[in-house]
Amino acid sequence: MQTTLSDWLALQETSSAPLQRGLEQVAEACRVIAGLVERAPLEGRLGALTTTNIQDEVQKALDLASNDVFLDLCGQEPVFAGFASEELDDVSMGTQGGDFLLAFDPLDGSSNIEVAMCVGSIFSVLPAPDAARGRAIQAEDFLQPGRNQLAAGYALYGPQAMFVLSVGAGVAGFTLDRDRREWILTHPDMTVPEESGEYAINSSNERHWKPGLRQFMAAVQVGREGPLKQDFNMRWTAAMVADVHRILVRGGVFLYPADNRPKVANGKLRLLYECAPMGWLVEQAGGVAYGANGPVLNVRPSSLHQRSPIALGSRRVLEQAWAEYLVSDGAAEG
C-alpha cells in the first residue's frame, strides 16, 4: 500500500498536529505551483515582468503567481503567524497567535523556466517567538539561526514533481501523483553518501574567487593525481533545488561562494529561505553545510534577505575542503 504525505506526517514523533497541518498546506501550495509551472507556456506566464524584487532581481510572472499561491493557501492555515518570502520586501501577517513562521522562496531558479528545465520552491518553518503572540509579526521574529528550524523542505518541478521534507528526524521524499492529487512516499530515507566525485559550482566566476576556493578547485581539477586523490565530474543546473536534490540522491558538493564582485561579497543565495533550509536537510541526511565561518545552521541572520556563502554536501570531501582550503576565505571576510 502506498504511503501518502499525510500518512507519513501522522507517524512523525518530532512533529505536532499543528505542524503537520501547516506542512500539509505547504505541500498543497507546492502541488498547485507544480500545475502552474507545467501550464506556464499555455497560459502566457513565461517571461519577465518589469518589476524587481528587493534584491534587484527581475521578477517573472511565475515568481509572483507562486508567491500568491503560498500566501493564499498557507494563509488559510491558522498555525502560521507570519510569512517571509524572497518576493516580499517585508513580512506578511498570518494568524496572530499562530505557532509558526514560514519563510520561503516560492520559485527558485526561475531563469530555467523559459528553457523548460527544473525549478523549485524552498521553505523553512521556525517557531513564532512567545513575545510575538500578542502582537503582529515583525521581521526580527524571523531572525533565528537555522538550528531553530522545526521543519524544512523543497519541491522540485522537474520530470516528476517531488516534495522533500524533514521534521528533524531524517529526510523523506514524495512524488506527486497528479491523478490522485497526493504526494506519495517514494524516497523514505534520503541519505547523502559520504563519498562522492560530483561537484556543482558556477565556474564562469573563477576570476572572482578567493584564494582558498581557487586552490580547492585546482585540486578538484587535478583529480586522482592531486591531494584529493579522486577524479571529479561537474554538474550545474542553475537551480539550487535541483542541485541539492541530486546531492540528496547520489551525493556530491554544491558551492555558491562569496567572491570579489561587490554584489556577491557575502554570497548570492539567501540565508533564511535558501541556505538554512537546504543546510538543515543536508545535515539531516548525514551531510555537512558551511556558511561564511562554519556550519551555516549556527548563523543568526541580521536581516530578512541576508545573503550567505554556502558549501554543502558529502561529508568526506567537504570536511577536507573546509579545513584545508575554504576556512581561510571565510576568516578573511571577518
List of residues contacting ligand F6P (CB under 6 A): 108-109, 202, 238-240, 256, 268-269, 274
- By beta-carbon proximity to ligand F6P, the closer residue of 246 and 315 is 246
Residue 113, C-beta contacts closer than 8 angstroms, at least 6 positions apart: 37, 40, 46, 60, 62, 107, 119
- By beta-carbon proximity to ligand F6P, the closer residue of 117 and 139 is 117
- By beta-carbon proximity to ligand F6P, the closer residue of 109 and 146 is 109
Among residues 187, 210, 228, 206, the alpha carbon closest in space to that of 314 is found at 228
Residue 283, C-beta contacts closer than 8 angstroms, at least 6 positions apart: 289, 295, 297
- By beta-carbon proximity to ligand F6P, the closer residue of 123 and 256 is 256
d(CA 47, CA 149) in angstroms, rounded, equals 34
What is the nearest approach in angstroms of ligand F6P to the Cβ of residue 249?
Answer: 17
What is the nearest approach in angstroms of ligand F6P to the Cβ of residue 243?
Answer: 6
Q: What is the 3-state secondary structure (H, E, C) of 280-329?
A: HHHHHCCCEEECCCCEHHHCCCCCCCCEECEEEECHHHHHHHHHHHHHHH
Q: Which residue is nearest to ligand F6P (CB)?
A: 240
What is the nearest approach in angstroms of ligand F6P to the Cβ of residue 109?
Answer: 4
All 3 cell numbers of residue 38?
507545467
What is the nearest approach in angstroms of ligand F6P to the Cβ of residue 122?
Answer: 9
d(CA 24, CA 132) in angstroms, rounded, equals 24
Q: Give, in degrees to the nearest 5, the angle at Cα 78 between 74 and 82.
A: 65
What is the nearest approach in angstroms of ligand F6P to the Cβ of residue 52?
Answer: 14
Among residues 107, 64, 151, 137, the alpha carbon closest in space to that of 304 is found at 137
What is the nearest approach in angstroms of ligand F6P to the Cβ of residue 59?
Answer: 13
Torsion, CA 298, CA 300, CA 304, CA 308, rounded to 10: -50
What is the nearest approach in angstroms of ligand F6P to the Cβ of residue 151?
Answer: 21
Among residues 31, 35, 10, the alpha carbon closest in space to that of 20 is found at 10
Give, as one character, the DSSP assignment of residue 135. Answer: S
Q: Give me the amino acid identity at 145.
A: P
Q: Look up cell 532581481; give the residue.
A: 57
- By beta-carbon proximity to ligand F6P, the closer residue of 99 and 274 is 274
For residue 148, the number of C-alpha atoms closer than 13 Å in the C-beta half-sphere is 18
What is the nearest approach in angstroms of ligand F6P to the Cβ of residue 195?
Answer: 23
- By beta-carbon proximity to ligand F6P, the closer residue of 94 and 313 is 313
What is the nearest approach in angstroms of ligand F6P to the Cβ of residue 274?
Answer: 6
Number of C-beta neighbours around residue 205 at 10 A: 16
Q: Look up cell 507556456; give the residue.
A: 41
- By beta-carbon proximity to ligand F6P, the closer residue of 31 and 245 is 245
- By beta-carbon proximity to ligand F6P, the closer residue of 28 and 105 is 105
Helix (H, G, I), strand (E, B) or coil at 235: coil
- By beta-carbon proximity to ligand F6P, the closer residue of 69 and 244 is 244
